[in-house]
């Protein structure tokens, strides 16, 4: 078990810098998720921690050891790959015991460790099979078994669930969470799926274009996104984000439609400021079909036309036209709405976010 | 003929049967039959004299035949093993090249572009004891002041032939193994690194099992090649001097054409072919095993 720290970590391919001096302290036994769109540098960062990519600048420490120049085998880490990366010519048991065999442990010791891991992951029945005879989910479990057998300081997961279908992915997500509760070790988990990041991790690191945008608990990044990018990336459906201009206690959108300036931001902006207004679909609902989280007087209601609806059973996503664009609203206890029908739409402004239009930074603080 | 109407499918298949019979089945049966006769090309009548297994008895008790047989197996063993090791090294080196890999692959295949007869001539000159570049180089380097009789001493001639074989065909192994290396997924290698393997262990436990089937395909092809080796030996030493480099097919060709004893030569050929079949079967079994091991889907 160990901490991991990245200090001013830089990665360049030739002239192209893909990771720009990132800093991160991972606590002992923490489950941390690196999340971001493709090409944001999350996998590269993970591979640098693993030692599969050279480090261009900065340093990586695992525990109190600087590991920059150590080969992967000396870092005492385990990694689970997106494509599982099982050894095709070995049985499940041999795959799981391979690292111990290389380390020169006795066969007895290996068998015990493999049996233990197999029990944890319910792989006992499959020990004599080869990877080609397993399903995707089973292969993924073997890959995890191979990782836990070594009892490493740090587990690294590189998009481990991306190759599974939706249902299996949810199942494996739960298993990973249980596994972490059981094994209690430091985990760094790379994913592009914000739901995985939210559900699994203690803290989330949101990356974009080789920078860290925000580090925080799932609640923090969801409720207090520090940048416009984080606000748009975390949460499903995505937050409604629209540019507006501040004008005498109002926010005026491009087509002239306006909303009152949310109370929390009255001191933070002055007339003429260009801002981005953000409101989650949860805080935007047809009047009477949602719950406001703050004071009742913060709820602002407007009559707007419905464009389309997406019924999900327990709720309906309503696309309503406002400020020249469709806004996504979430309708609880749904009733049927017709496109073109005018409804009263409630904006819970106590939950609104404002970002500086030019820097994308939050105006909350 | 009236009234005899073969079914359409028989009629449609008939041309194929006739062609096959004419070019394969009849010659094969004829040669098999002739191996039971004292057939000589100079006395065509002798093909009608049936002598049973006498040719085979004679071959199987002939010391010279067994020596040629053994030498062929020896050549096969040495050539295959050395070619595999060299081919593997070549393939690993070429695979490491980040630039100019295509051109290296092409260059690697050059030896295969020459006719074995020409390779034989070239090496015959290179190993010539008076004017050959090999002796010349050895003498210039001061390693020897003798004219080493490369193509005259039995063992040295065997080595010279082996060198020519290896030079001309190592590329077969290199290409197949390279294909295997290039088809190999990267992740298991990375997993091995993380699992604690040194580069050597990664090769031993991950890379080698993966390229093994490719090496076995090359082995199968080359074992057939060498088991029927004739041209290079024919040119370089012609089985001589005094039969010191005689291998199966130089012996068979001599018996058939110089001595005109076709019946006896045919009997030898059937025994030689058994050897080829044996090696092919062996390598195919290994190949199947290796393929199953890596769970190959081809």
Same domain flag for A256 and A320 = yes
Put simply, the answer to whether A132 touches B297 (Cβ < 8 Å) is: yes
* DSSP-assigned states of every residue in B199-212: HHHHIIIIIHHHHH
pLDDT band at A356 (very low <50, low <70, confident <90, very high): very high
Chain A neighbours among B 168-197 (CB < 8 Å)? 185, 187-188, 190-197
- A361 in a domain, yes or no? no
In a domain, A365, yes or no: no
Contacts of A222 (CB under 8 A, 6+ apart): A198, A234, A235
**Residues on chain B touching A79 (C-beta within 8 angstroms):** 190-191, 194
A50 shares contact with chain B (CB less than 8 Å) = yes
Q: Is residue A145 part of a domain?
A: yes
B199 touches chain A (CB under 8 A): no
Contacts of B297 in chain A (CB under 8 A): 132
Cα dihedral across residues B12, B14, B19, B25: positive or negative: positive
Q: How far apart are CA A253 and CA A243, in angstroms?
A: 7
CATH number for the domain that contains residue A303 = 2.40.50.140
Same domain flag for A152 and A301: no
Residue A124 CA to residue A120 CA, distance in Å, equals 9
DSSP A159-197: STTTTS-HHHHHHHHHHHHHHHHHH--EEEEEES-HHHH
In a domain, A201, yes or no: yes
| In contact, A136 and A168? CB cutoff 8 Å | yes
CA distance B107 to B178: 14
Query: Do A108 and A202 fall into the same domain?
Result: yes
- Does pLDDT of B193 surpass 70? yes
- Tell me the average pLDDT across B139-149: 85
Residues 6+ apart with CB under 8 A from A307: A319, A320, A321, A326, A339
Q: In chain B, what residues touch A85 (CB-CB under 8 Å)?
A: 185, 187-188, 190-191
Nearest CB to B295: which of A77, A85, A131?
A: A131
Q: Which of A207, A233, A259 is the last residue of a domain?
A: A233
* Distance from C-alpha of B62 to C-alpha of A183, rounded to nearest angstrom: 73
Residues A193 and A283 placed together within one structural domain of the fold: no
Q: Is the pLDDT of residue A236 over 90?
A: no
Cα separation, B56 vs B2, in Å, equals 48
pLDDT score for A1: 58
Cβ–Cβ gap B295/A88 under 8 Å? yes
pLDDT score for B16 = 93
Which residue is it, tokens 């076995």?
B216
pLDDT at res. A343 = 93
| Torsion, CA B13, CA B19, CA B24, CA B26, rounded to 10 | 100
Q: Examine the fold and report which residue of A233, A263, A295 is the final residue of a domain before the chain moves on.
A: A233
Query: In this complex, do A85 and B191 lie within 8 Å of one another by their Cβ atoms?
Result: yes
Rounded to whole angstroms, how far apart are CA atoms A240 and A348?
13
A320 and A348 in a common domain: yes
- Establish if A87 touches chain B: CB-CB under 8 angstroms: yes
Residue B22: cis peptide before it, omega within 30 degrees of 0: no
Model confidence pLDDT, tens digit, residues B75-111: 999 999 999 999 999 999 998 888 888 899 889 889 9
Q: Rounded to the nearest 10 degrees, how much is the dihedral formed by the CA atoms of B143, B146, B151, B156? A: -50
- Would A279 be classed as within a structural domain? yes
Mark yes or no for CB contact A50/B195 under 8 Å. Answer: no
Mean pLDDT, residues B227-238 taken together: 87
Mutate to test the interface with A, among B195, B207, B286 (most CBs of A within 10 A): B195
pLDDT of residue B267: 93
Using the predicted structure, report yes or no on whether residue A6 has a pLDDT greater than 90: yes
* pLDDT confidence tier of residue B296, bands split at 50, 70 and 90: low
Give the per-residue pLDDT at A242. Answer: 94
Query: Mean of the pLDDT values across residues A294-319?
Result: 91
CA distance to partner chain A, nearest, from residue B104 (Å): 25
Query: What is the pLDDT, as a whole number, of residue B297?
Result: 52
Rounded Cα distance, B59 and B55, in Å = 6
CB of A157 less than 8 A from some CB of B = no
Shared domain for A273 and A215, answered yes or no, is no
By the CB < 8 Å criterion, does B294 face chain A?
Answer: yes
Q: Distance, in angstroms, between B151 CA and closest chain A CA?
A: 46
Give the list of residues 6+ apart from residue B63 with CB closer than 8 angstroms, or none: none
Mean pLDDT of B6-11: 87
Q: HEC profile for B228-264?
A: CCCHHHHHHCCCCCCCCCCCHHHHHHHHHHHCCCHHH
CATH class of this structure's domain B63-293: mainly alpha
The answer to whether the CB atoms of B201 and A102 lie below 8 A apart is yes
Among the partner-chain residues B185, B195, B209, the one whose CB lies closest to the CB of A102 is: B195
Distance CA B77, CA B75 (A): 6
In a domain, A97, yes or no: yes
Q: Phi and psi (nearest 5°) for B218?
A: -60, -40
CATH code assigned at A95: 3.40.50.300
Question: Which whole number is the average pLDDT over B21-47?
Answer: 90
Q: Is the pLDDT of residue A101 over 60?
A: yes
Q: Could B193 and A52 be called an inter-chain contact, meaning their C-beta atoms sit closer than 8 Å?
A: yes
Q: Which of the four pLDDT bands, split at 50, 70 and 90, describes residue B23?
A: very high
Distance of CA A125 to the CA centre of its chain: 34
Q: Does A13 touch chain B (CB under 8 A)?
A: no
How close is the nearest chain B Cα to the Cα of A79, in Å? 7
pLDDT (tens digit per residue) in A27-65: 999 999 999 998 899 999 999 999 999 999 999 999 989
From chain A, pick out residues whose CB is under 8 angstroms from the CB of B295: 88-89, 130-133
- Reply yes or no on whether the pLDDT at A248 is more than 90: no
Least confident of A191-200, A238-247, B169-178, B234-243: B234-243
Chain B partners within 8 Å of A150 (Cβ): 195-196
Nearest CA in chain B to A97: B195
Averaged pLDDT, A130-155: 90
Say yes or no to pLDDT of B41 above 70. Answer: yes
Between chains, do A102 and B295 touch, taking CB under 8 Å as contact?
no
Q: How many residues does chain B have?
A: 298
**Does residue B246 contact residue B154 with C-beta atoms inside 8 Å?**
no
Q: For the stretch B91-105, what's the b/e string if a residue is b when 16 or more beta carbons lie within 10 angstroms of its beta carbon?
A: bbebbeeeeeeeebb
Q: With a cut of 60, say whether residue A361 has pLDDT above it.
A: yes
- Tokens 């004829």 identify what position? B30
Query: Is-cis flag, bond preceding A154, omega within 30?
Result: no
Across the interface, whether the CB atoms of A84 and B187 are under 8 A apart is answered: yes
Residue B165 — left, alpha, or beta (φ > 0 → left; ψ -120 to 50 → alpha)?
alpha
Average pLDDT value over all residues in chain B = 88
- Helix, strand or coil, per DSSP, at residue A316: strand
Enclosing domain of residue A209? 4-233
Three-state SS string over B96-154 comes to: HCCCCHHHHHHHHCHHHHCCHHHHHHHHHHHCCCCCCHHHHHHHHCCCCCCCCCCCCCH
Question: Is A73 within 8 Å of B197 when comparing Cβ atoms?
Answer: yes
Q: Which residue among A202, A233, A264 closes a domain?
A: A233
Average pLDDT, chain A: 91
Q: Quick check: B216 contacting A, CB < 8 Å?
A: no
Whether residue A83 and residue B196 make contact (CB cut-off 8 A), yes or no, is: no
Same domain? A74 vs A36:
yes
Question: Do both A270 and A338 map to the same domain?
Answer: yes
Number of helices and strands in chain B (H, E) = 14, 0
What percent of chain B is modeled with pLDDT above 70? 98
- Decide if A152 is inside a domain: yes
Q: Does pLDDT of B240 surpass 90?
A: no
**ipTM greater than cut 0.95:** no
Say yes or no: A202 and A294 in one domain: no
Query: Is residue A364, in this structure, part of any structural domain at all?
Result: no
Neighbours of B132 (CB within 10 A): 20
pLDDT at B2: 63
In tens, the pLDDT along B246-281 reads 888 999 999 988 888 999 999 999 998 888 888 888
Confirm or reject contact between B259 and chain A (CB < 8 A).
no
Three-class SS state of A211? strand
Q: Do B210 and A99 touch (CB under 8 A)?
A: no
Q: What percentage of chain A carries pLDDT values higher than 70? A: 99
Calculate how close chain B gets to A135, using CA atoms only, in Å.
14
Contacts of A130 in chain B (CB under 8 A): 295
Determine the pLDDT at residue A301: 93
- Please state the domain count of chain A: 2
């Amino acid at each position: 078990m160990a901490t991991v720290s990245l200090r001013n970590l830089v990665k360049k391919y030739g002239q192209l810098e893909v990771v720009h001096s990132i800093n991160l302290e991972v606590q002992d036994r923490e489950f941390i998720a690196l999340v971001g769109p493709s090409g944001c540098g999350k996998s590269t960062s993970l591979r640098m921690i693993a030692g599969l990519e050279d480090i261009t600048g900065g340093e990586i420490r695992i525990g109190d050891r600087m590991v920059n120049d150590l080969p992967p085998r000396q870092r005492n880490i385990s990694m689970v790959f997106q494509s599982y990366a099982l050894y095709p010519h070995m049985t499940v048991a041999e795959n799981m015991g391979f690292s111990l065999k290389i380390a020169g442990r006795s066969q007895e010791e290996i068998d015990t460790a493999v049996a233990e891991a197999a029990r944890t992951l319910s792989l006992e029945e499959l020990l004599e099979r080869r990877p080609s005879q397993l399903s995707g989910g089973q292969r993924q479990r073997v890959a995890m078994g191979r990782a836990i057998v070594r009892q490493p300081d740090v587990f690294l997961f590189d998009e481990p669930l991306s190759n599974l279908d939706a249902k299996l992915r949810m199942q494996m997500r739960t298993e990973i969470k249980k596994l972490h509760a059981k094994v209690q070790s430091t985990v760094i988990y790379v994913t592009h799926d914000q739901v995985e990041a939210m559900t699994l991790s203690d803290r989330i690191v949101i990356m974009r274009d080789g920078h860290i945008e925000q580090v925080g608990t799932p609640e923090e990044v969801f409720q207090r996104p520090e940048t416009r990018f984080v606000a748009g990336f975390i949460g499903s459906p995505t937050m409604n984000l629209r540019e507006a201009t501040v004008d005498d206690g109002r926010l005026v959108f491009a087509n002239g439609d306006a909303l009152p300036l949310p109370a929390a931001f009255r001191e933070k902006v002055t007339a003429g400021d260009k801002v981005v207004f953000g409101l989650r679909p949860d805080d935007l609902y047809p009047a009477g079909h949602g719950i406001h989280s703050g004071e009742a007087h913060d709820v602002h209601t407007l009559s707007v036309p419905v464009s389309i609806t997406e019924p999900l059973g327990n709720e309906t996503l309503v696309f309503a036209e406002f400020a020249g664009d469709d806004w996504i609203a979430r309708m609880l206890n749904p009733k049927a709405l017709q496109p073109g029908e005018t409804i009263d739409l409630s904006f819970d402004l106590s939950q609104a976010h404002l970002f500086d239009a030019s820097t994308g930074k939050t105006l909350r603080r | 003929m009236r009234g005899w109407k073969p079914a359409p499918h028989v009629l449609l298949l008939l041309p194929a049967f006739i062609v096959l019979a004419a070019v394969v089945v009849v010659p094969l049966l004829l040669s098999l039959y002739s191996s039971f006769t004292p057939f000589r090309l100079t006395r065509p009548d002798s093909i009608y004299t049936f002598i049973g297994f006498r040719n085979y008895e004679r071959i199987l008790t002939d010391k010279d035949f067994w020596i040629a047989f053994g030498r062929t197996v020896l050549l096969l063993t040495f050539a295959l093993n050395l070619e595999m090791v060299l081919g593997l090294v070549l393939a690993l080196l070429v695979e490491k090249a980040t630039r100019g890999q295509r051109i290296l692959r092409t260059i690697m295949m050059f030896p295969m572009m020459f006719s074995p007869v020409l390779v034989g001539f070239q090496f015959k000159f290179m190993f010539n004891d008076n004017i050959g570049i090999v002796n010349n180089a050895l003498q210039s380097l001061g390693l020897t002041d003798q004219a080493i009789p490369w193509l005259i001493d039995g063992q040295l001639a065997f080595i010279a032939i082996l060198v020519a074989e290896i030079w001309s065909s190592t590329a077969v192994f290199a290409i197949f193994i390279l294909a295997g290396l290039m088809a190999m997924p990267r992740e298991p290698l990375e997993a091995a690194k993380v699992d604690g393997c040194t580069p050597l262990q990664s090769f031993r436990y991950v890379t080698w099992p993966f390229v093994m089937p490719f090496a076995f395909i090359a082995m199968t092809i080359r074992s057939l090649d060498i088991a029927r080796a004739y041209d290079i030996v024919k040119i370089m030493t012609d089985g001589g001097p005094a039969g010191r480099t005689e291998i199966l097919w130089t012996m068979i060709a001599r018996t058939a054409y110089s001595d005109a004893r076709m019946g006896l030569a045919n009997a030898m050929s059937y025994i030689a072919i058994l050897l080829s079949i044996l090696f092919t079967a062996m390598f195919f079994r290994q190949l199947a095993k290796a393929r199953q091991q890596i769970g190959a889907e081809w």
